[in-house]
């Protein structure tokens, strides 16, 4: 009989995340340093456990019309079919067609941080995304419908009492279709999940980070592969550039 325990493995994953988030909050006196450390905890979780077709990074998003999103703390994007990524001085810029999800990271959840996260997610969803016909040996498939971009909020604690309750549902339910938060984790307390009609609060038995990770992977499995990017639409911007001093 094996001594392995799936229950202990899944519990250990959450306990590691919660411990690291608590340590980041307690160890650094500077808010910016604390924020960076917290973001790294969530990024490392997703970089380690998401299937390799997905990548998680802090990044901006750009579309072929030249519009940019706000900076996103945890951006989930395709690396299997999307070769078009800019990197400059450790700053990443991802084409809008490649994006699967956008998450804001904060220390605590409250109405103000929910609103802030909604605006960040909306800045990504409002960008233009192309979708080209897909060639294959017998012809072409029609352009893929654009997949829904998952939006969410990741925090350590809640400022509400109870931590997950009606105030959170009220904040999540504010009318903002582009900024709707689909999924979030309050590592010390629980998880929220939303669809186009309502939101549900999940208070698992002390393992929210693991519940969040598995729910996110399930949602990514249900999401269509990113569309075929129109690289020529981006290349048109080269015609508007000129050599320096020219």
CA angle 18, 20, 23 (to 5 degrees): 110
The pLDDT tens digits for 121-152 are 999 999 999 998 888 788 788 888 899 999 99
Q: Give long-range contacts, CB 8 A cutoff, 24+ apart: 85-94.
A: 86/62, 91/59, 91/60, 92/57, 92/58, 92/59, 92/60, 93/59, 93/60, 93/61, 93/62, 93/68, 94/57, 94/59, 94/60, 94/61, 94/62
In a domain? residue 87: yes
Other C-beta atoms lying within 10 Å of the C-beta of residue 89: 4
pLDDT in tens, 58-68: 999 999 999 99
Least confident of 3-17, 108-122, 157-171, 216-230: 3-17
**Residue 212 within any structural domain of the chain:** no
pLDDT greater than 80 at residue 1: no
Residue 129, in any domain of the structure: yes
The reply to whether 241 falls in a domain is no
| Domain annotation covers residue 163 | yes
Question: What was the pLDDT predicted at 136?
Answer: 77
Least confident of 9-13, 103-107, 120-124: 9-13
Q: Which is more confident, 100 or 84?
A: 100
Mean pLDDT on 210-216:
93
- Read off the pLDDT band of 227 (50, 70, 90): confident
Higher-pLDDT residue of 225 and 111 is 111
> Which residue, among 210, 208, 178, has the nearest Cα to 192 in the 3D structure?
208
Range of the domain at 66: 54-198+222-234
| Cβ contact 100:222 at 8 Å | no
The answer on pLDDT for 241 being more than 60 is no
Q: What band does 246 get if pLDDT is binned at 50, 70 and 90?
A: very low
pTM above 0.85, yes or no: yes
- Which range is most confident: 6-10, 23-27, 159-163? 159-163
Q: Which two tokens stand for residue 69?
A: 């999103």
pLDDT at 6: 67
Highest mean pLDDT: which range of 78-92, 107-121, 223-237: 107-121
93-108 average pLDDT score: 96
Is residue 135 in a domain? Answer: yes
**pLDDT(243) > 60:** no
Tell whether the model's pLDDT for residue 245 goes beyond 70: no
* Total tally of structural domains belonging to the chain: 1
Is the residue at 157 inside a domain?
A: yes
pLDDT(19) > 90: no
Task: Give the per-residue pLDDT at 118.
Answer: 97
What tokens does 201 get? 């609060």
Contact 155, 113 (CB under 8 A): yes
Domain annotation covers residue 33: no
| Per-residue exposure over 8-34, b if at least 16 CB sit within 10 Å of its own CB, e if not | eebeebbeebbebbeebbeeeeeeeeb
């Amino acid at each position: 009989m094996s001594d392995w325990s799936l229950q202990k493995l899944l519990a250990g994953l959450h306990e590691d995340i919660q411990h690291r988030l608590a340590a980041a909050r307690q160890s650094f006196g500077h808010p910016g340093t604390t924020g960076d450390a917290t973001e790294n905890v969530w990024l490392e979780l997703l970089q380690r456990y998401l299937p390799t077709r997905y990548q998680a990074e802090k990044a901006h998003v750009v579309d072929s019309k030249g519009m940019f999103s706000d900076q996103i703390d945890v951006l989930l994007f395709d690396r299997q079919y999307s070769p078009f990524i800019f990197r400059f001085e450790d700053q990443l810029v991802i084409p809008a067609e490649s994006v699967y999800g956008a998450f804001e990271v904060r220390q605590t959840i409250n109405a103000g941080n929910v609103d802030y996260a909604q605006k960040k997610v909306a800045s990504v969803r409002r960008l233009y995304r192309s979708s080209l016909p897909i060639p294959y040996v017998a012809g072409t498939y029609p352009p893929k419908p654009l997949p829904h971009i998952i939006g969410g909020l990741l925090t350590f604690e809640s400022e509400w009492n109870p931590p997950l309750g009606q105030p959170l549902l009220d904040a999540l339910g504010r009318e903002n279709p582009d900024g709707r938060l689909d999924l979030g984790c309050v590592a010390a307390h629980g998880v929220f999940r939303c669809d186009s009609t309502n939101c549900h609060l999940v208070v698992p038995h002390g393992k929210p980070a693991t519940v969040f990770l598995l729910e996110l992977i399930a949602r990514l499995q249900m999401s269509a592969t990113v569309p075929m990017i129109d690289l020529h639409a981006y290349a048109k911007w080269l015609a508007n550039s000129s050599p320096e001093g020219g």
